[in-house]
Structure 1
Amino acid sequence: MKKALIILLSMAAAGCSKPGGDAGGEQDGKIRLMTLDPGHFHAALVQKSMYPQVDSVVHVYAPEGPELKAHMSLIELYNTRAEDPTAWEEKVYTGDDFLQKMLSEKPGNVVVMAGNNQKKTEYILQSVEAGLNVLADKPMAINTEDFRLLQKAFAAAEEKGLLLYDIMTERYEITTLLQREFSRLPEVFGTLEKGTPEDPAVTKESVHHFFKYVSGKPLTRPAWFFDVEQEGDGIVDVTTHLVDLIQWECFPGQVIDTSDIELLSARRWPTALGISQFRKATGVENYPDYLLKDVENDSVLNVYANGEMNYTINGIHAKVSVKWNFQAPEGTGDTHYSIMRGSKANLVIRQEKEQNYKPTLYIEPLEESSEYEEALKTSLEKIQASYPGVELKKAAKGWEVIVPDKYKIGHEAHFSEVTKKYLQFLTGGGMPEWEVPNMITKYYLTTKALEMAKAND
């Protein structure tokens, strides 16, 4: 079922507090999921695995249509696969009043959301106000008005002792994990540089594609995915991952307040798609009326999926950018670039042709010496204590971090890792005190960046 990330909103001032809520079905200690309006395949990816704490019966509340059909097809695919099949039992309600039906029946205690982002923030607020925990796909807010609703939802969740959380899968990608771990070794990394707007201390860039394959099959996107009023501009969508990683890597375990952020610049630009590309990605013959505002010359659809922002976080200069193309070249896929600049070395993730389009981490010292090499090899033992099998190989500049295949589980598997973490929060008494304020700051930044980018159009 769809386990979009539920933000843990209930925390005591000094730490964590136990989540609660008035949803039914908790007597046996089981977590019971409800999937609300699953318009994005991320909802199904939450259910690609089973979890011992979670009841196998999932209640789905959604309008009838191709999006629900696609969701159910993926669940059926997971249930019937030859290796390690799941055993989900979906109970579906498709009346026009599906939202109110879910809020009144409440057969579960966790709502999973991944779909049309124009409706999502209101869904989150109503669910929390009804006493339900929420696990929501990103983004949870796509504009300033949504951000204000999200603040209300967090406040309501705190008052009711509920968990509201968003799905940050990129925290579980192995090269990102190792970049974070090496940055915490002063003998290897030194200290994080301050940087400048022209040469930030931290840069994260990602490239994505409208047409792709999911679970081995071509992904059919809903037509509304190409409407930024429903999906959100790129600068408030994928960038949530990148902003989250900067907070999580550079300031681990620290509360980041909105006052710790200064937005310096932001811009956005469109990806132009032809009608044949739109048809291939959606299976829809013609542009719906709500997309005509973005169509020029009767056929070219401009999607504002690309965005960039420059800002400081606790005085550290950071840059985030996201780009969307139609389809990746054969043998490639979405790509990621990341650099953390330290006083002793730069930690760089590259994912280009030289790396066979696989994310690869490099340690590039500012000054190479036998002393540094010895310190690096000694520090590697600390990394290997948590990640056995990780090794170093001399590269053209510095060292390449060699990662065993067992850690390269892939993007789809990261959803189960996020879900497991969320379940720990839900059953173990709460989440760390920094999670909620840092989520609020993240969406404050992305929605402010959109405001600035639009003003600069």
Structure 2
Amino acid sequence: MQLIPTVVCLFMATLIAACQSSEKSEKDPAAIRLITLDPGHFHAALVQKMMYEGVDSVVHVYAPEGQDLQLHLNKIQGYNTRPDNPTHWKEDVYKGADFLDKMLADRATLGNAKNVVVMSGNNRLKSDYIQKTVGAGFNVLADKPMVINASTFDQLKESFATAEKNKVLLYDIMTERYEISTMLQRAFSRQAGLFGTLEKGTPGNPAVTKESVHHFYKDVSGSILTRPSWFMDVAQQGEGIVDVTTHLVDLVQWECFPEQIIDYQKDISLTSARRWTTDMSLSQFKAITKQNSFPDYLKKDVVNDSILRVYSNGEINYQLRGIHAKVSVTWAYKAPAGAGDTHYSIMRGTKANLVIRQAAAQQYKPTLYIEAVTGNKDLEASLKAVLPKIQQEFPGVEVKKVASGWEVIIPSTYKEGHEAHFGRVAQKYLDYLKAGKMPTWEVPNMIAKYYTTTQALELAKKAK
């Protein structure tokens, strides 16, 4: 008998909180307002999986009417109505073919808030979206990749210059920096007594290797993800070598040369690059898009009238300040039972190797190992010496002896999952926005990252 009053109370509490948040932002010139532009990828919704202090609960959405927009709104509604820790976003939606012009024209009427345009969708359009948006004086938080080919690389550089001129922040969503095993790999690599120094490596045996495996058919927020048909069109989404590898190239820079400026013209040298396809049947395509046939723009990639070939896989072998690194991404259609997207990474030091494995032996959970190099008999002693320093930053982290060396034991409280990392990135960006600036290394390193990926694509296309 108490169910209806309880539900009413919860509804009223949520409504009051939403109204208070909106009223506060209208009176507070320091408040921040989110604007979503043409959401075509589920990452746009993941930014709103949580609420943020000082951010208006009203989000302005500008997009063409269609399935992409509806899927986005459905996800936001799901977050608002979930039983545990529901959000209270209110989506103010403008639908129309002139959505971009409308957003730019509304710049003066959106209030005194610091406006942040969130972009996650068709990557072919993103370069123009970014350029026009920062040019109009909006801050931009963009999903990767910002550019998908060498022809738009200079346009991205210009956009960063425009953002600086207009005193707005342009930033991409690098979620993998917040994966705890990667954070600890970076932290242990900075302990010279344990790790030594980073090896130089060779093309055949790089000092740093990062491999990522992804899947077209996947579960997101408790349901099977419906992907837009254009996601399989590399002319719109981008090839794998310029898409997911963006994360891996970012991690190489972030871990090997933390908080240091990378000069793409001096510090980066490509050795080799290659690309290959993932083949998808029409029935598989239907399962993830809910479309009954391949659209015309995909016909160029269809063989035998029934098999779609997607250039979703790529590998880059390159040097960064003389350090040999290799990054690769592979897309399968569907993961084995109990598995999901996986990551493998190794940093080779002169005293120890830091290895992340995420296979069946690890129950498909990323696990960090510390392994002695040949001839190093002091690993246990040096590990015990540096562990207290690690624990100062990551309380509760321990190690245990295993056959290959030492496994890093990570408390479950650090294991948030990939979807939660979008909130971490957004919060970091909001902190930058409130401070009015980013660290000096962020922009040049974003430029270096996209130079690496787009030039690798050019090199891969030339390779036989």
Q: Which TM-score bucket, shorter chain as reference?
A: over 0.9
1:149: which partner in 2?
155
Over the aligned positions, Cα root-mean-square deviation in angstroms equals: 1.2
In the alignment, structure 1 residue 105 sits paired with structure 2 residue 106: yes
Report the equivalent of 1:4: none
Q: Secondary structure at the match of 1:138?
A: coil
The CA distance in 1 between the partners of 2:374 and 2:245, in whole Å, is 33
What is the rounded CA distance, in whole Å, between the counterparts of 1:302 and 1:239 in structure 2? 19
Residue type of the alignment partner of 1:77: G
Identify the residue that residue 377 of structure 1 maps to in structure 2: 384
Q: How many pairs were matched up?
A: 434
Pair 1:446 & 2:453 matched: yes
Q: Secondary structure at the match of 1:286?
A: coil
In structure 1, distance between residues paired with 2:45 and 2:131: 22
Letter of the 2:86 partner, please give it: P
Residue in structure 1 matched with residue 423 of structure 2 by the alignment: 416
Give deviations 1:37-93, integer Å, cap 9, x for gaps: 000000000000000121100000000011101000000000011111101011000
**Does structure 1 residue 139 correspond to structure 2 residue 145?**
yes
Change over 3 Å in CA distance of 1:26–1:173 after alignment to 2: farther
Any residues of structure 2 matched to 1:365-404 within 5 Å, and which? 365-367=372-374, 371-404=378-411
Shift in Å, 1:372 = 3.0
Is 1:240 the counterpart of 2:246? The answer is yes
In structure 2, the partner of 1:160 is: 166
Q: Aligned residue for 1:261?
A: 268
> Residue deviations 1:11-47, cap 9 Å, x none?
xxxxxxxxxxxxx979521001110000000000000
- The alignment status of 1:353 with 2:360, answered yes or no, reads yes
Equivalent position amino acid for 1:158 in 2: E
Instruction: Tell me whether 1:89 sits opposite 2:90 in the alignment.
Output: yes
1:355 & 1:52 partners in 2: Cα distance? 37
Cα contact 1:25–1:32 (8 A) shared by 2 = no
Partner of 2:188: 182
For residues 236-268 of structure 1, give each alpha carbon's deviation from its aligned partner in whole angstroms, at most 9, with x where no partner exists: 000000000000000001000112000010010
Q: What corresponds to 2:42 in structure 1?
A: 41
1:230 is paired with a residue whose SS is helix
Q: Give the equivalent residue in structure 2 for 1:201.
A: 207
Q: Is contact 1:350–1:360 with CA below 8 Å preserved after alignment?
A: yes
Name the CA distance, whole Å, in 2 between partners of 1:455 and 1:71.
38
Match of 2:14 in 1: none
Structure 2 Cα separation of the partners of residues 30 and 399 of structure 1: 47
Q: Unpaired runs of 5+ in structure 1?
A: 1-23
* Shift of residue 367, structure 1, vs aligned partner: 4.5
> What is the identity, as a one-letter code, of the residue corresponding to 1:53?
G
Which amino acid letter does the alignment assign opposite residue 69 of structure 1? Q
- CA separation of 1:192/1:90 partners in 2, compared to 1, >3 Å: closer, same or farther? same
Residue matched to 1:225: 231
Aligned counterparts of 1:369 and 1:442: Cα–Cα separation in 2: 34
Counterpart for residue 316 of structure 1: 323
1:161-210 deviation line (CA, Å, top 9, x unaligned): 11000000000000000000000000110000000000000000000000
Q: 1:70, 1:424 → 2: CA distance?
A: 29
Q: State the distance in 2 between where 1:414 and 1:80 align.
A: 21
Equivalent runs, 1:57-136 vs 2, <5 Å: 57-106=58-107, 107=110, 109-136=115-142
Q: Give the TM-score of the pair, scaled to structure 1.
A: 0.93
1:226 and 1:370 map into 2 onto residues whose CA distance is 50
Helix, strand or coil for the counterpart of 1:253? coil
Q: 1:129 to 1:80 in 2, by over 3 A?
A: same
Rounded Cα–Cα distance in structure 2 between residues aligned with 1:448 and 1:375: 41
Q: Are the structure 2 counterparts of residues 351 and 26 from structure 1 closer, same or farther at C-alpha, using a change threshold of 3 Å? A: farther
Letter in 1 for 2:217: F
Which consecutive residues of structure 2, in runs of 5 or more, have no partner in the other structure?
A: 1-24
- Check conservation: 2:351, 2:376, Cα contact below 8 A: no
Give the whole-Å Cα distance in 2 for the aligned partners of 1:197 and 1:343.
Answer: 17
Give percent identity, aligned residues only: 64
When normalised by structure 2's length, the TM-score is 0.92
Higher RCO (C-alpha under 8 Å, 6+ residues apart): 1
SS at match of 1:224: helix
- Write out per-residue CA displacement over residues 401-453 of structure 1, whole angstroms, 9 at most, x where no aligned residue: 00000000000000000001000000013111000000001001100000111
CA contact (8 A) 2:215 2:341 kept: yes
8 Å contact kept, 2:352–2:379: no
**Residue identity opposite 1:250 in structure 2:** C
The answer on whether the counterparts of 1:62 and 1:94 sit within 8 Å (CA) in structure 2 is yes
In the TM superposition, residue 371 of structure 1 has moved relative to its aligned partner by 3.8
- The 3-state SS of whatever aligns with 2:236 is coil
Aligned to 1:193, the other structure's residue is in SS state: coil
Instruction: Find the counterpart in structure 2 of residue 288 from structure 1.
Output: 295
State the secondary structure of the residue aligned to 2:121: coil
- What amino acid is the match of 1:271? T
Asked whether the 8 Å contact 1:37–1:68 carries over to 2, the reply is yes
Residue number in structure 1 paired with 2:19: none
CA distance, structure 2, for counterparts of residue 129 and residue 26 of structure 1? 26
SS state at 2:153 partner: helix
Provide the rounded CA distance (Å) in 1 between the counterparts of 2:358 and 2:434. 37
1:172 pairs with one of 170, 173, 178: 178
